[in-house]
Amino acid sequence: MKTHYDRLVELKNNYPELTFNNVGYEYLSPSVKEAHKAQIEEISAILKETVFGFVRFDNFKPRKNGSFAVRMQTKWSESFTGVQYNDIEDFKNEE
């Protein structure tokens, strides 16, 4: 059975359209979101299980050092939802 980390890496590699080097408040286009709805739902299920306060997957974000982060929205408090970046490597420890 694949770990959450393995599956996230597989989804990132198999669906490069979900990797986006956003600047500020840029997001994946609606057409990419629609075309990859099933993959986004699977990623969201993993994140809901592993990230406290998870709200929404945004994209995989390339880093300058060659690694990748998972960009998502999380509940920071009862009244505030904000962006959170988790290094994809962090999911190795979520099993």
Question: Is the per-residue pLDDT at 24 higher than 60?
Answer: yes
Q: Please say whether the beta carbons of 60 and 12 come within 8 A.
A: yes
**pTM for this structure?**
0.93
Please list the residues that pair with 1 across neighbouring strands.
none
Residue 7: predicted pLDDT = 96
Domain residue spans in the chain? Answer: 4-93
| Sign of the torsion formed by the C-alpha atoms of 82, 4, 43 and 20 | positive
Task: List, for residues 26-75, the tens digit of each pLDDT value.
Answer: 999 999 999 999 999 999 999 999 999 999 999 999 999 999 999 999 99
CA 76 vs CA 24, 45, 48, 80, 84: distances in Å: 19, 19, 15, 6, 9
